[in-house]
């Protein structure tokens, strides 16, 4: 597996779209395990690990699942050869994987993802890492709330972030404005595609306005061996995350 060809656009733009990253068989297996986790494992997890969206009919849908390595399948999946090879080729050095996360935007749910840079939470110095998001069940498109990137923003440093009140995305860029929005590129994906972005890439996503399609994604995050974690910055983020967990939406 050689993904070196994706390194140049990743370094230039701050993100890269790898179409058909997983084969049909690989996607079917991963999808089955994600659905099993959501149905059988998630209900027993604490509310600081699984976030829900309430439905009008009184039910609720899973919105986010963190620390999926608590399950044996996903603990082993952190070492998946294909994902690790892609991360290594993008960064040009050995990598370490962070625990997988499941992101879901249920149909007609009012949960936009605020504009942010991942390094406000990950605190890598230097910011040598990559976040990967795989489309699981349905297309990521304008209706379901695809990712929106500001190309080149990863070369402009870390912007000031402020408390957002959103569970799972506790901080947002304080001064995100029309100039940023004018530079945005909306990136649509099909199931099995993966989007990879730099820790300083500015990105967000609108709410899912589809009446019948969920926007479910599976995320793997990798840190290059040259990067260290600034514990003081992660502590500050965790304080905001706890605040959003208790008082946010």
The pTM (predicted TM-score) of the whole model is 0.91
- How many domains, the chain? 1
Tens of pLDDT, residues 66-120: 999 999 999 999 999 999 999 999 999 999 999 999 999 999 987 889 999 999 8
Taking all residues of the chain, what is their mean pLDDT, rounded to a whole number? 91
Which range marks the domain in which residue 151 is found?
A: 4-247
Q: Is 166 helix (H, G, I), strand (E, B) or coil?
A: strand
The answer to whether 218 and 30 are in contact (CB under 8 A) is yes
* CATH value at residue 22: 2.60.120.620
Residue 236, class by beta-carbon neighbours within 10 Å (0-12 exposed, 13-18 middle, 19+ buried)?
middle
The answer to whether 64 and 168 are in contact (CB under 8 A) is yes
């Amino acid at each position: 597996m050689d993904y070196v060809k994706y390194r140049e656009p990743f370094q230039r733009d701050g993100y890269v779209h790898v179409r058909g990253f997983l084969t049909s068989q690989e996607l079917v297996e991963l999808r089955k395990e994600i659905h099993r986790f959501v149905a059988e494992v998630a209900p027993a997890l604490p509310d600081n690990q699984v976030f829900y969206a309430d439905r009008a009919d009184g039910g609720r849908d899973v919105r986010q699942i963190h620390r999926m390595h608590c399950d044996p399948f996903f603990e082993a999946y952190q070492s998946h050869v294909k994902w690790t090879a892609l991360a290594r080729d993008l960064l040009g050095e050995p990598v370490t994987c962070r625990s997988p996360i499941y992101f879901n935007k249920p149909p007609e749910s009012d949960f936009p993802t605020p504009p942010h840079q991942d390094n406000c939470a990950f605190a890598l110095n230097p910011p040598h890492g990559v976040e990967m998001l795989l489309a699981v069940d349905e297309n990521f498109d304008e209706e379901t709330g695809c990712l929106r990137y500001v190309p080149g923003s990863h070369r402009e440093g870390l912007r000031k972030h402020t408390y957002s009140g959103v569970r799972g995305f506790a901080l947002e860029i304080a001064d995100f404005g029309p100039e940023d929005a004018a530079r945005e590129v909306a990136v649509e994906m099909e199931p099995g595609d993966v989007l990879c972005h730099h820790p300083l890439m500015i990105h967000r996503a609108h709410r899912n306005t589809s009446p019948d399609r969920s926007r479910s994604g599976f995320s793997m995050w990798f840190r290059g061996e040259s990067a260290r974690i600034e514990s003081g910055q992660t502590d500050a983020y965790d304080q905001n995350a706890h605040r959003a967990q208790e008082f946010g939406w």
